[in-house]
Amino acid sequence: MEINSINAAVLAKMFLNGAKNLESKKEWINELNVFPVPDGDTGTNMSMTILSAAKEVSALENPDMASIAKAMSSGSLRGARGNSGVILSQLFRGFAKVIGKEQEVTVPVLSHAVQKAVETAYKAVMKPKEGTILTVARGAADKAAQMAEETDDLVLFLDEVIKEAERVLKKTPEMLPVLKQAGVVDSGGQGLVVIMQGAYNALLGKELDTASITASAQTGAAAKITKETEAEIKFGYCTEFIIVLNHPLSDNQERNYKSFLESIGDSIVVVADDEIVKTHVHTNDPGLAIQEALTHGSLSRIKIDNMREEHQERLIKDAQKVAAMQAAQEAQASQEAQEQKEIGFIAVSAGDGLSEVFRGLGADYMIEGGQTMNPSTEDILNAVEKVAADHVFVLPNNKNIILAANQAAALSEVKKVHVIPTKTIPQGITALINFIPEQTAEENEARMLEEIENVKTGQVTYAVRDTVIDDKQIRQDDYMGIGDKTILAVGKDLEQVTLEMAESMIDDDSAIVSIYYGEEVAEEAANAIAQKLQEGRDELEVEVQYGGQPIYYYLISVE
């Protein structure tokens, strides 16, 4: 089969099929996040980003290249969520700049478009890190440039480009030690490969049902739970284990092992070194995978989950989160119009207690979200429009929201948007505390940027899988105390882990410790921790406040 050109109708099908393929595998991609936290969301963020663009593409009645390019670019830019979603939107933006000027897509056009996509994405990231989605995209672009010199056949061209992307993806654990230690490939890179595979299958006539894309994108929520939805999960058991090898696998043995897994399932990840092989596969018969693995060595950390049951639970939780977020936004939108002022504030927060703290410090508009639901670029833009101020300060309060906030600032045409790159809730609180009304927006921005660097943050949650990070052995359901840069404490006792984390953050220069306890924590338990931290530290001020945040039992700041 040889294809030398693609018209607008075929390109639209390819894009929609790529989106659908990602949507169907987003939970698997979520599982690839390095930190085993219960809010791993790379797959969800990338899926919601591309679905926003897919909604616009699918609404086109008689698409041409220019209209498809505009829909891909504008839809993904405004729908971008999380760092992976923003980078994906920039890839589409660069891609669209090239194809929007053409009447049909040929190998030279596609090669040029891929080069432009990577160039645009790299420019959008201040400090690009290798071993990520950017590295996978660049590997694909380099191969595209090579193949453009060798063939005019789009089928051969795309097949080789995707194979190269898969090869680079497999190498990401060697580029980022944290990936290798966790036994996973880069989740954003995997998401990009999944999109490419879906688009390629559509070119070959192997299309998924894309009818549900518009409905999913419209609400940003998961699809309604139906028998059809459940049927989308072709293989019902997520199976993971580690093989402790009797002997290192040869290249041929590793290929044969992967081929066997492909014959019984999909969503396969195999990361091997001379001593162990980390395996992940979705299959209907986990026993077959285990039997094959035992021919190479002994097994440890075996984990088998029924994905159909988990899928239902996650759909319900996603729908509840979106409904709560929309209700909060509607309540704020119904408030009386404020008098125009010089400077206003938007803060991203999850938890009614934390939101009240921000409002009490002068935040004009709250975006419900954060760790468990990253708001999109459009969510932030809509919030900016609702704040009656000439200068609007945005406090993302999460490192995975900063890029989306920056993208919103670039798209804002009327108001001057200042993004204070707060990576945690405590940093956002510190930024607001240091606002001085008598100073200019620029003076306040400089002051806030300086002050947020003086805040240490610790967060306590639980592990969703076994792994090793920074030489700390973590078991599923362990409590984890996560600092600004690494995991500070791990254990089975919540209070002990929280105290160990906090103690490691406090030093001789510390003056204030703030404890924000979550929705599943009793006030008495938080007070007990505060009392123990206070013992022997007369100069230290320890505060306890209700945060009400989900997933994270405690947020603790030290200044």
**pLDDT bucket at 328, cuts 50 / 70 / 90:** low
Q: How many degrees, rounded to 5, is the angle at CA 165 between CA 163 and CA 171? A: 105
Which amino acid, residue 78? R
Nearest alpha-carbon partner for 357 in 428, 441, 405: 428
Angle between helix axes 42-58 and 8-24 (nearest 10 degrees) is 150
Name every residue whose Cβ is closer than 8 Å to that of residue 440 and which is 6 or more positions away in sequence: none
- Residue 525 is encoded by which pair of tokens? 């338990």
For residue 341, the cross-strand partners are 389
* Lowest-confidence region among 287-296, 301-310, 389-398, 495-504: 301-310
The model's pLDDT over 91-120, given as tens digits with 9 standing for 90+, comes to 999 999 999 999 999 999 999 999 999 999
Pairwise CA distance, residues 123 & 115, whole Å: 13
Mean pLDDT, residues 251-270 taken together: 85
Residue 323 clears pLDDT 70, i.e. is over it: no
Cα separations (Å) of 439 from 126, 244, 341, 343? 29, 62, 13, 10
**pLDDT bucket at 227, cuts 50 / 70 / 90:** very low
User: SS3 for 66?
Assistant: helix
Pairwise CA distance, residues 186 & 169, whole Å: 7
Distance in Å from the first CA to the final CA of the chain: 65
The model's pLDDT over 519-530, given as tens digits with 9 standing for 90+, comes to 999 999 999 999
The model's pLDDT over 36-76, given as tens digits with 9 standing for 90+, comes to 776 668 888 999 999 999 999 999 988 999 999 999 999 99
Specify the DSSP class assigned to residue 484: S
The helix (H) or strand (E) run that includes residue 437 is none
Supply the DSSP string of 450-472, one letter for each residue.
HHGGG-EEEEEEE-SS-EEETTE
What values do phi and psi take at 373, rounded to 5?
-160, 100
Q: How many degrees, rounded to 5, is the angle at CA 438 between CA 435 and CA 441? A: 60
Where are the alpha helices (H) located in 183-295, listed in sequence order? 187-203, 213-219, 227-231, 251-264, 286-294
Find out whether 469 and 500 touch, Cβ atoms under 8 Å: no
The reply to whether the predicted model has a pTM over 0.85 is: no
Cα of 193 vs its chain's centroid, Å: 15
Find out whether 549 and 518 touch, Cβ atoms under 8 Å: yes
The predicted pLDDT at position 26 comes to 87
Pairwise CA distance, residues 465 & 160, whole Å: 34
The predicted pLDDT at position 231 comes to 45
* pLDDT greater at residue 550 or residue 12: 12
Residue 331 clears pLDDT 70, i.e. is over it: no
The helix (H) or strand (E) run that includes residue 546 is strand 541-546
The predicted pLDDT at position 218 comes to 43
Specify the DSSP class assigned to residue 376: B
Name every residue whose Cβ is closer than 8 Å to that of residue 295 and which is 6 or more positions away in sequence: none
Pairwise CA distance, residues 130 & 133, whole Å: 8
For residue 22, the cross-strand partners are none
Find out whether 491 and 478 touch, Cβ atoms under 8 Å: yes
CB hemisphere CA count around 232 (13 angstroms): 22
Mean per-residue pLDDT over the chain, rounded: 86
